[in-house]
Structures are given as C-alpha cells and as structure tokens.
Amino acid sequence: MTEGSSGPLSGITILDFTRALAGPYATLLLGGLGARIIRIEEPRGDGRESAPFYGRDGASLRRQHEDDVSIAHLIRHRGKESITLNLKHPEAKRIFQEIVPHVDVVVENFSRGTSERLGVGYSAARAVKPDIIYCSISGFGQEGTPGGGKAMDNIIQALSGMMMTSGMPDEPPARIAVPFGDLNTPLFAVIGILAALFHHKNTGEGQYIDVSMLGVLTSMLSTEPFDVLERLGVPMRTGPTVPRLAPFGVYPASDGYVVICCAGERSFEKFAPAIGRPELLDDPDYSSQSARLRNYEALDAIVGEWSSRRTISEVNDILEAAGIASARVRGPAEAVRDPGVLKRKEVVRLEHPKYGAADEVYGPGVPISFSATPVAMAEESVPLRAHNKAVYADMLGYSDEEIDRLSAEKVI
C-alpha cells in the first residue's frame, strides 16, 4: 500500500534490509497491510537483474530493453520505497543510526551475525532507539546449527525432513516445488512483528525477534506423526494419498486428476454408496477408520478404478451430491486466473512501472479481507534509489550538497 493508506498497519514504518525471498515476502505482506516500507538496497541494486523480465514487449527470459524489470523483483518489492546505502562503507552505520529513530521496525535476513558485523544489527539500532522492534530471519537462528550461516530453501527442506515426506518410498527425495521454507518462514516473522507491536503498544517496550527457517519447517513437519506411523507399519512416503484418512488424496479421472477428501466415519458412510460400493460399509477391512488405514492401498485401488472411468465433472457431481469434498487438480496458470481469487485481490495482475499490464503476469496480493481497514497490494515496483531524497533530505534533513557527496563517494 502507499504512504497514508488506511490499512491496519497504517502509521507503522519499517526499515527493510531483506534480500532473496524469505525476508522480502515478509515486508511485502507488511506493506500490503498498510505499513510504510523503506527498503535499503546496495547502490548497484539487489535482485533487479534476475530473469525472467517484464517490459514493453511483455515477458522475456532475457532483458530486451533498458527499462525491462525483473519479474521476481516486481513480485517481491511492490509498494516499497527504495533508498541506497553501501553497508560496507564506514559511514553506513552512522546513517543507519540516523534513520532508526524514524522507524518502528527493522527487518533483515542476512546470514547469522552479518548485521552486527556491519554495524546495523539490533545493538546498534537499540542504542539510538531503545524501543525499536528488530526482526532477524535466518536459516538456523542466531545461535547457529547444522549447515553454517547461509541457507537456501532446498537446504532447509532437506534438513527439516520435508523432502522425505513427499513421493513414494522407492523414489528419491522430492523437493516441494513452491519454495516452502522461503514462503512459510516470513509468515511467522510477520506474526512475531505484529505480536511485538501489540506488546509495544501496551508497554512501550521494544524487542528482538529471531525466526529460523529450519525451526519453522521442522515445527510444521511435527504436526504429522510421520515417524510414529512408520513405526506402526504405515510408510512415511505415500505419494498422492493420506493413509490415516483414507480415502483421501489424488485419484485419476478419464480427463485429468481429482482430489477426494473423505475423512471420518460419517463421510465414508455417504461415500461408499455414492461410488456404488455400499457393501464396503459392512466389510471388516473398511468398516472403520482404523481398518481403512490398515488397508489403504486396496481401498485407494477401488477408488482409483471408480474415478478413472469417469470425467472430473462426473466425479465432482456425484460426490458433491453425497456431501463429499472433491476438486479438480488445476495447473498454476489456471489457478492464478481464478475469477474469485482475482476479485478478492488475493492474486493481482502485475503492472510494469511504465507500460502497465503489458502481459499476463500475476503475483501475490493480501489474502486477508478486513471490514474496517481495507488492504491492497501495490501492482508496481519503483526504480532504484527513487526515494533517496524523501529519506535523506526530507526525513534526515541532508542538504543537496551532502547527498551529492555521499553519492559521489559511493556511500549511497
């Protein structure tokens, strides 16, 4: 959202040091909720050269024109103000400490210890604003654990155990295609920041927030008792189905795939007659949820044989009439064009800063609706250093001569 918006975080200013995806997604959401996001970039820019690009000719794998913008940058940094600061320059710490009193929250996702080494960590921020809220997002937390300081989504998926829960037992580990760690960790960072803002409102006290990608994914993994089920004879990796809720999973149809979710006794009592197999209700192999768990492979074969002889529409119509949840498996291109999702602005069509909607390119909106404080995600990003004057001159009071000097000396 823009400065002066009516979102629930209107009036909150956030200083954003984030890079890559996990950190930028957190501040993207905070901006969508109405906060003012001041993003600090290196003078050469950060992530603005990542393919694919978006320009006057639409999307392309290589930069066609000087004013083409990275789609990744457009997705992650919409609605954020851009200022430049060379964090390795000796003057950077001083400038950082002059900005901090004007903001409520600082967010960074450097490797463990990097922000303190650069002089822009919590201690430096707290020295000039004791009630600052400072959030660090890292791979392994600030104490440090396996893998060292740097972390990528694939590394976190591997170490968390996530990769070993998808696919079939005889297949290699399966990476979750959506960057699961990079997108879930920032949700917990946002939760932490909101909780800290609430605490600050009540007490006036700031604090440090430490969010670990490995911790987030491992915590989420532990919501399913994978090791217990495997110890009791149910494979940890069961591909498209969930044995303990059988029949529950992805099944073939004559024209694609359909998800069927039939969990619990009442649902199965409706499901069996709906597929023309009422006798399953009296079969000791399927008459209870525990029995269906023990015999899930045979039950999945029965369901798959039934669904494969029908179209997706036929499967959905039959199960809907019986009160059983089912849905067609859609591809990403269709999903992001869902009229309902677009109407609610949970996904938005992205615009080039100069050429507008020159192609069909979509990105995340704010998937939360408020009755009193409407929210919206910006559809454009801004050029590098677009807000240098607004921050260095208007906020900090630097003269034109001082800004010119800092620019000439490659400080900003």
3-state secondary structure of 287: coil
Final residue belonging to a domain, choices 283, 307, 328:
328
Whether residue 163 is found in the same domain as residue 39:
yes
- Please indicate, yes or no, whether residues 176 and 283 belong to a single structural domain of this protein: no
Amino acid occupying residue 412: I
Q: Given the structure tokens 């290589």, which residue do they identify?
A: 62
Domain assignment of residue 8, yes or no: no
Tell me if 5 is assigned to some domain.
no
My answer on whether 92 and 158 are in the same domain is yes
Q: Which of 46, 121, 51 is nearest to 82 (CA)?
A: 46
Domain boundary among 285, 302, 328: 328
Domain that holds residue 403: 13-220+338-408
Contact 166, 158 (CB under 8 A): no
Residue 268 tokens read as 């199965």
Q: Cα separation of 380 and 44, whole Å? A: 20
Mean pLDDT by 10 residues, the chain (412 residues): 71 97 97 97 91 95 94 95 97 98 97 94 98 97 70 94 91 94 98 98 98 96 91 90 95 98 95 98 96 96 98 98 98 97 96 92 95 89 95 97 96 97
Same domain for 309 and 201, yes or no, is no
Q: How many helices (H) and strands (E) does the chain have?
A: 17, 14
pLDDT value, residue 222? 95
Domain match, 150 and 83 both: yes
Same domain, 363 and 265: no
**Tokens in use for 336?**
């992001």
Identify the pLDDT of residue 148. 55
Q: Which contiguous run of DSSP H or E holds residue 45?
A: none
Q: Are residues 395 and 317 both part of a single domain?
A: no
Task: Give the CATH number for residue 279.
Answer: 3.30.1540.10
What's the CATH number where 393 sits?
A: 3.40.50.10540
Residue after which a domain boundary falls, among 269, 303, 328: 328
Residue type, 220: M
Quote the pLDDT of residue 5: 59
